[in-house]
Amino acid sequence: MKPDAIQAVIDAGSSQIRVIVAQKEENQPLEIIGCGVVNTASIKNGLVSDIAATAKAIRQAIDEAEQQSGFEIRNVDAAIGGEQVSGMNSVADCAIPTGKIRSDEISRLILQARQKISDENYQILHILEQQYQVDEYSGIDEPIGMVADKLSAHLHILRVRKNNAENLKRAIEAAGIGINALVFSGLASSYAATTKEEREMGVCVLDIGADTSNFMAWYEHRPLYSGGLNIGGEWVSSDLATTFTTPRQFAEIIKCQQGAIRLSIMKSEWVNLPSTGLRPSRQVASADVVKVITARYEEIFAQLEKALHRQGMRRMSEGGLVLTGGAAQIPGLAAYVTEEFSIPVRIARPEQIANLPDHLQYDPSMMTSLGMLKLLYEPIADHVWAKPPKKGIITRLSSMFSRS
């Protein structure tokens, strides 16, 4: 087995920390060999609120995954998301003094695009290819070796607030683990939740988590729009707790076991609320429960619509909307969104995966972790690590003539 055949990833979410160890041989399906899942309350809205508590939870999840896999985890790819992550499109261009496009020109364009959005308060997560333009011809996927006078690169760049990323890194390192890379949660989950055909046709993926939701829109297999929202399923539970004056844990039970986004799906006209303290058990109308749940989901989709509109997306692609994440499991959600927005909608669940514990099989909340693994084993072009081209004699002469 190749040394890189075994990989580990961590998804530090607002309700749970998940560590997955997987292996994949060439032409073989992905196999999970270790999994650690630990509840946490030390990450809020995608931000680490307590480094020590987060590190402790990460260490527990790491220990579980190591015990199952028999593999010592030293480094991981880690997911990061929420409103702290923003996506933008950028165009960089340069002249081709030699008349033939080389890899040096690609590197120069990537660095030019990076410098355009340089901000000491942000760390760049990904620099993803959309397309290249050679002279007046657009839609070029691979320009190296082509004859041209001018080259333009259309790129999608994702960045995160540096301090927030640093706090997550410190929590992971405090758990005794190194970090290979930070990965935008929305990129990972959208890559795992969609087919190549959907990304080609055009599709938007919304991953609805506990405190945050992350989105990415694709067209012609290229990332177009992306970002994070500080709203998720936890907000629904809080609304239920406040509206019906019941403890948060009871509100969560109502949402997960009896809740729905359509009244016709509710099992009964009434929902039972357990007794609390001196207050006896009581009933509330199912219609009122549905009203509270629906109102918050309406806000989630309103925020998504605004975020996409700000980035320039005016209408949904033919592939429609794919929903995933733990909070996408509320009964009736796909039908509701289809009806409200007149677009095709489906809920994405992972396919059955060898050795993944039964309670995690088909669980949409696993999509980010599985997406990170897919990016490791089936990578897409990401130029975040691009370095300046070496200054050989030809490069120096080319630069000199291009400035004259």
pLDDT at 399: 47
Q: Which residues contact residue 253 at a Cβ distance below 8 angstroms, ignoring those fewer than 6 apart?
A: none
132 and 213 in a single domain? The answer is: no
Structure tokens given for 346 = 């489906």
226 and 310 in a single domain? The answer is: yes
Q: Which of 300, 325, 347 is the last residue of a domain?
A: 347
What residues form DSSP beta bridges with 131?
Answer: 154
357 inside domain: no
- Going by C-alpha positions, the residue among 166, 198, 205 that lies closest to residue 182 is 166
Higher pLDDT, 43 or 400: 43
339 and 219 in a single domain? The answer is: yes
- Going by C-alpha positions, the residue among 128, 226, 229 that lies closest to residue 186 is 226
pLDDT at 4: 67
Tell me the pLDDT band of 391, cut-offs 50, 70 and 90: low
pLDDT at 387: 62
Is the pLDDT at 394 greater than 70? The verdict is: no
Question: Read out DSSP for 91-121?
Answer: EEEEE-TTSB--HHHHHHHHHHHHHHT--TT
Query: CB-based burial of residue 24 (10 Å sphere; 0-12 exposed, 13-18 middle, 19+ buried)?
Result: buried
Tell me the pLDDT band of 393, cut-offs 50, 70 and 90: very low
pLDDT at 403: 40
pLDDT at 95: 94
Q: Which of 324, 347, 370 is the last residue of a domain?
A: 347
218 inside domain: yes
Is the pLDDT at 101 greater than 90? The verdict is: yes
Higher pLDDT, 67 or 389: 67
79 in Cβ contact with 17 (< 8 Å): no
91 and 218 in a single domain? The answer is: no
Q: What is the mean pLDDT of residues 114-129?
A: 94
pLDDT at 122: 96
230 inside domain: yes
Q: Which of 302, 331, 347 is the last residue of a domain?
A: 347
146 and 199 in a single domain? The answer is: no
210 and 333 in a single domain? The answer is: yes
325 inside domain: yes
55 inside domain: no
154 and 268 in a single domain? The answer is: no
115 and 234 in a single domain? The answer is: no
Q: Specify the CATH number for the domain of residue 270.
A: 3.30.420.40
Tens-place pLDDT, residues 318-331: 789 999 999 999 99
Is the pLDDT at 166 greater than 50? The verdict is: yes
Residue 303 vs residues 201, 228, 314: alpha-carbon distances, Å: 24, 10, 14
Tell me the pLDDT band of 370, cut-offs 50, 70 and 90: very high
Question: How far apart are the C-alpha atoms of 236 and 255, rounded to whole Å?
Answer: 8
Tens-place pLDDT, residues 129-161: 999 999 999 999 999 999 999 999 999 999 999
pLDDT at 273: 86
201 and 334 in a single domain? The answer is: yes
225 inside domain: yes
242 and 295 in a single domain? The answer is: yes
pLDDT at 386: 63
Tens-place pLDDT, residues 203-253: 999 999 999 999 999 999 999 999 999 999 999 999 999 999 999 999 999
pLDDT at 401: 43
Count structural domains, the chain. 2
Q: Specify the CATH number for the domain of residue 127.
A: 3.30.1490.110
Is the pLDDT at 383 greater than 50? The verdict is: yes
9 inside domain: no
206 and 130 in a single domain? The answer is: no
338 inside domain: yes
For the chain, give the mean pLDDT: 91
296 and 229 in a single domain? The answer is: yes
Question: How far apart are the C-alpha atoms of 261 and 59, rounded to whole Å?
Answer: 37
Tens-place pLDDT, residues 271-289: 988 877 777 888 999 999 9
- Going by C-alpha positions, the residue among 53, 10, 14, 16 that lies closest to residue 230 is 14
192 in Cβ contact with 11 (< 8 Å): no
Query: Which domain covers residue 398, as residue numbers?
Result: 86-159+384-403
